Amino acid sequence: MTVYFMCFFLFLVGLYGIVTRRNLIKIVISFTIMEFSVFLFFALIGYVENGVAPILTKNLPENPVFVDPLPQAMVLTAIVIGLATSAMLLAIAIRIYKKYGTFDIREINNLRG
Amino acid sequence: MSSLVPLYVILPLASAFLIPVFGRLVKGFQKALLTLVLLFLTILTFHLIFGGLKEPVTYQVGGWSPVEGIPIAIYLVLDGLSAFTLLIVNLIGLLATFFAISYIKRYTAQNNFFALLSLMIAGMNGVVLTGDMFNMYVFLEIAVIASYALVAFGIEKTELEASFKYQVLGGIASLLILLAIGMLYWKTGTLNLADISGILKEEPPDLFLTFTQILLISGFGMKAAMIPFHAWLPDAHSSAPAPISAMLSGVLIKAVGIYALLRLFFNMFALTYEISLVITVIGALSMVIGVFLAIGQWDLKRLLAYHSISQMGYVVIAVGMGMILMVQGGDRSVAALAIAGGLFHMINHAVFKGLLFLNAGAIEYVTGTRNLKMMGGLFKSLPVTSTTSLGASLSISGIPPFNGFFSKLIIIVAAIKGEFYLLAILAVLVSIVTLASFMKFQRYAFFNKSTFSKKIREVPFAMSLSMVVLVVLCLALSLLIFPGVREVMLTPAVDVLMETSNYATIITGM
Amino acid sequence: MKGLTPIVKKVAQLMSGIICIYGIYIVVHGHLTPGGAFAGGIILAGAFILLILAFGSEVVKLRKEETGSSVTESLSILATLILATAGLLIGSKVFFNDYLPKGTVGELVSAGAVPLYNILIGIEVAAAIITIFLALIIFKEEEEQR
């Protein structure tokens, strides 16, 4: 059970980073930490004690216990989506750097009210 | 008939990837292709609503039939509510695309614009159709990632900043939704909405489930920009190019926010009093605070964006009242009336807010400003824009005979019948404040003394046409309250939400 | 962007072929072993990115490469869609229908259309990663020229 709470703790670490950091790149890193805490959680859901990888091979043990393959498939899909999100965030961040000349969000505040 | 269902995803997706290939070879290819695709899908949706769709259609992607009663395929489900939302998505998408044909001439990289727009529509159609939790997440991400890019399309200072803010908040929302999906899978071992609902029905509600529901409300509430989570909406919606603002405000927050909330909380979870109350309170807060935030705005698009929050509040309180009545065993006809009012207001809001954002885009197109203080006297030079925006303003502030009046009336009548007097009073007050706010818009934009030295011409034909079509729709949608039309369009959608367990039986009970 | 030293160039030249083959191996064995289209595609993209980094390139040339990779990406997705839609037109009229013969478990040519999807998605992922890389690097190059 502890592991699941550690996952949630990691999620909160990422959230804390997003809220408190002032640097755009550090915000992106915090966001990625949050993302991967969710992926870890998914990987944990599918885990079965003494399970083997869910692949049909020739030398399988008798009556194999497979780990759940579905969360793994979901994590792979989510990683692909996460890749797209990170790429978008970084692309926007470097564009912002070009326009404002800084990564500090205290100086990037044209939108108010 | 059922093999037409995946076309809603295939066609926009195919056009999103045909455009980058052939768009650089053939001039005008991107505009023609996307317009034709959306025209076809709109006609198909109308056909399905008026006669084609006798009963809900389910579709198993890949042809995987259920094994021992357990559905293993990804299901696409087309029922009344899906058809209703598909109509909103594709109709507003078509008109926004048509508007964009002329509007987009100010930007370079037209191919990217149309490719991203069709990707966004493919994602939203997917969210509306799918019957699978994780698939819903994937389509949702397709739609919102395309919208992140589209918000930043102008690559100026404000656009980039808005897009970054939107991405971080939208990303957090997506992660909350993903976490909730993981927890649901942990508890039930399945991802199919119908299957989950069947399993949850046998188990008593516990803290774990409540936590999941709270995660889902926060996630989808953030996507729908309900009040505690609204910070990104005014920035993102006002920075995007005008057709995209119309799509974001008119469609995206409904398809990926409100629709998903309705689908999950009515058809998947068992309704509980606490959750219904939370949803109603969030709706009431959005309705009231949104309009008061809107009143002080001088940037036209920000003003409209804050009104989106407020008008979405109407939709949410209407369905929230319906939920409370259904949980407490109140009068089911009143609950049905409240939900009908909410859904009616949803399509109305898509039409008039889409139109208002297109008006704002047209004004910006000819004058180059969005600041209300710098406009004035545009009535003479922009007759089409000002007439249509007058129609839309009357509609959003609830003046008969426009559609906004009827949907607000239904919501208020339902609130009084269901004895939610406070909500009824708030709804009336917010409507009055909305009227005041739009009178300010009309006066400063169109009737004050002109401040422009240069000659201003009316916008091009494609832009005028889509605005005129939308204002005609504003009037035509009033017909929805009359029996005959209402049974065809609104009642099937309301029935889906009223008969909460029907959704599960059409999938598993085959 | 300038290239790196001759040692790096030679090593990159030697390694990129091996990396490429490894990526292709992972992609085509997607239905038999762990890995598959996404992992293999990333490895394939890595081989190309290694070459670009080691040898350097002109902005004009990079632009051409970006156009090429983004067109490849779109074409491979279109091919995937056509493959999926073909199931709608022939056989049991179902989107994403696997209409090819299944073969025997464990052989390279088996599992119906799955290896085809794997190959197409592998190309798509590789092209997408290269496009992202090139887009970012072109942006940086243009900054430095100004």
Q: What is the pTM of this model?
A: 0.93
Give the confidence band of B173 by pLDDT, cuts at 50, 70, 90: very high
Shortest CA distance from A46: residue in chain B: B186
Chain A contact partners (≥3 CB pairs within 8 A): B, C
Residue B397's domain comprises 2-508
- Residue A33: both structure tokens together: 């930490």
Assess contact for C71 and B20: CB atoms under 8 A. Answer: yes
Write out chain B residues lying below 8 Å of C85, CB-based: 10
Q: Number of helices (H) and strands (E) in chain C: give both, helices first.
A: 4, 0
Shortest CA distance from C130: residue in chain A: A87
SS3 A104: strand
Please indicate, yes or no, if residue C122 is contained in any of the structural domains.
Answer: yes
Write out chain B residues lying below 8 Å of A85, CB-based: 141, 145, 167, 171, 174
- Contact flag A70-B191 (C-beta cutoff 8 Å): yes
- Token pair 């299944």 is found at C102
Amino acid at B466: S
Q: Is the pLDDT of residue C10 over 70?
A: yes
> Is the sign of the CA dihedral B239, B240, B246, B251 positive or negative?
negative
- Contact flag C78-B18 (C-beta cutoff 8 Å): yes
pLDDT digits (tens, 9 = 90+) for B299-355: 888 889 999 999 999 999 999 999 999 888 878 888 888 999 999 999 999 999 999
C55 shares contact with chain A (CB less than 8 Å): no
B178 shares contact with chain A (CB less than 8 Å): yes
Q: Which of A25, A52, A80, A95 to mutate to test the interface with C (most CBs of C within 10 A)?
A: A80
Please indicate, yes or no, if residue C140 is contained in any of the structural domains.
Answer: yes
- Contact flag A92-B168 (C-beta cutoff 8 Å): no
d(CA B449, CA B432): 26
* ipTM of this predicted structure: 0.93
Residue C101's domain comprises 6-145
Give the confidence band of C84 by pLDDT, cuts at 50, 70, 90: confident
- Token pair 């191919």 is found at B111
Strand partners, B299: B371
d(CA B466, CA B463): 6
> Is the sign of the CA dihedral B393, B399, B404, B409 positive or negative?
positive
Best CA proximity match to B318, nearest among B289, B294, B286, B361:
B286
Domains of chain A by range and CATH? 2-47+67-100 (1.10.287.3510)
Please indicate, yes or no, if residue C103 is contained in any of the structural domains.
Answer: yes
- Cα–Cα separations (whole angstroms), residue C131 to A18, A25, A30, B368, C41: 28, 21, 25, 34, 13
Please write down the long-range contacts of B480-483, taking CB distance under 8 Å and 24 or more positions apart.
Answer: B480/B344, B480/B347, B480/B403, B480/B406, B481/B344, B481/B406, B481/B410
Average pLDDT for B40-49: 89
Assess contact for B52 and B491: CB atoms under 8 A. Answer: no
A72 shares contact with chain B (CB less than 8 Å): no
The pLDDT value recorded for residue B380 is 78
Best CA proximity match to B345, nearest among B406, B288, B255:
B406
pLDDT digits (tens, 9 = 90+) for B213-251: 999 999 999 988 888 888 888 888 888 888 999 999 889
- Contact flag C81-B18 (C-beta cutoff 8 Å): no
Strand partners, B146: none
Question: What's the structural domain count of chain B?
Answer: 1
Give the confidence band of B174 by pLDDT, cuts at 50, 70, 90: very high
Among the partner residues C34, C106, C135, nearest to A53 by beta-carbon distance:
C34
User: Measured between CA atoms, how close is A50 to chain B, in angstroms?
Assistant: 18
Question: What's the structural domain count of chain C?
Answer: 1
The pLDDT value recorded for residue B108 is 80
Please count the CA atoms within 13 angstroms of the CA of B449 that sit on its side-chain side: 2
Q: Which residues 284-303 of chain B have a CB within 8 Å of chain A?
A: 296-297, 302
Please indicate, yes or no, if residue C1 is contained in any of the structural domains.
Answer: no
